[in-house]
Amino acid sequence: MLENKTILITGGTGSFGNTFVPLTLAKYNPKKIIIFSRDEMKQWDMAKKFQGDKRVRFFIGDVRDRDRLYRALDGVDYVVHAAATKIVPTAEYNPFECVKTNVNGAMNLIDACIDKKVKGVVALSTDKASSPINLYGATKLTSDKLFVAGNAYSGEHGSKFSVVRYGNVMGSRGSVIPFFMSIRDKGILPITDDRMTRFMISLEEGVELVWHAFEDMVGGEIYVKKIPSMKVTDLARVVAPECSQEVVGIRPGEKLHEQMIGAEDSYYTFEYPDHFKILPTINDWGTSLERIKDGKKVPEGFIYSSDNNTEWMSDADLQAWIDDHRDKIGSI
């Protein structure tokens, strides 16, 4: 469905964008992919990778700037919303800035997409948006709600909005694997709590979930990828077996275990072979057979968290991923 279409990705110079763009160019041959972001140097660096490919365009702008979004969305068919203030401590200490990007930016994008008659929008979410305890998670939960409700706002304009939610993206900028690798020469890795667990997903799997959402969405669904968990102590041991581990305590706004589906969501959550789908509670969308399709209702009270997961990443699987991505870790 993306073939010969124009796609815009907000925050497109980030880790996700650097993976989404080449994979999408190869699989779908879109007419154009527009990278919309505010950092000119990141755009300059990214442009070198696609030099000579006229399908890749760059557009300086900020999702906080409503007028700039309207200009950028001229002729755009599909949007991937990846722009966010996402580092938990940064959001805790700069709450106004986090809200401006994650909440106000989402509202600006929804309005602009509806008015410009964009066909479909997939917004990237996070496990921290489920039962949030930090500001980043709270703003992303708000953003999720905004994109779901955007389907009611679009009315006859026909724009569809959905959300994809996943956990720790392995190798993404600011995530734990490149962080541990960058300080391994010190001989000590800081562990916030030796009981801590996290969901693990590759950037490639994240891209595939976005593709699936575009193909499957009716509007208002939250797609949750089935992915393995891993203890942070095991992750540290695989990344730097020569290092000792020092427990330093949980940072502001940090959870011991992450959650992607809460018990309150279970009433409207359906299971599929590779993912779950949380349907909207507004209107009658949660019982829409068009949205449910061949899904199986999860049990009442079902919780999908990193500590009760039935799938766990082995040391060998993580090591294999590191070996395959060693050259890219920290450079995207």
Give the span between the Cα atoms of 6 and 28, in whole angstroms. Answer: 11
| DSSP state letters, 57-103 | EEEE--TT-HHHHHHHTTT--EEEE------HHHHHH-HHHHHIIII
Contact, 163 vs 123, CB < 8 A? yes
Beta-bridge partners for 35: 9, 58
Closest to 67 measured CA to CA, from 115, 35, 102, 22: 115
CB 281 within 8 A of CB 262: no
Decide if 128 is catalytic: yes
Sign of CA dihedral 150, 216, 119, 206: positive
Q: Which of 5, 42, 116, 128 is catalytic?
A: 128
* 253 close to 301: Cβ distance less than 8 angstroms: no
Which one, of 20, 147, 164, 139, lies nearest residue 84 by Cα? 139
State the Cα–Cα distance between residues 308 and 167, nearest whole angstrom.
Answer: 14
Catalytically active residues are 128
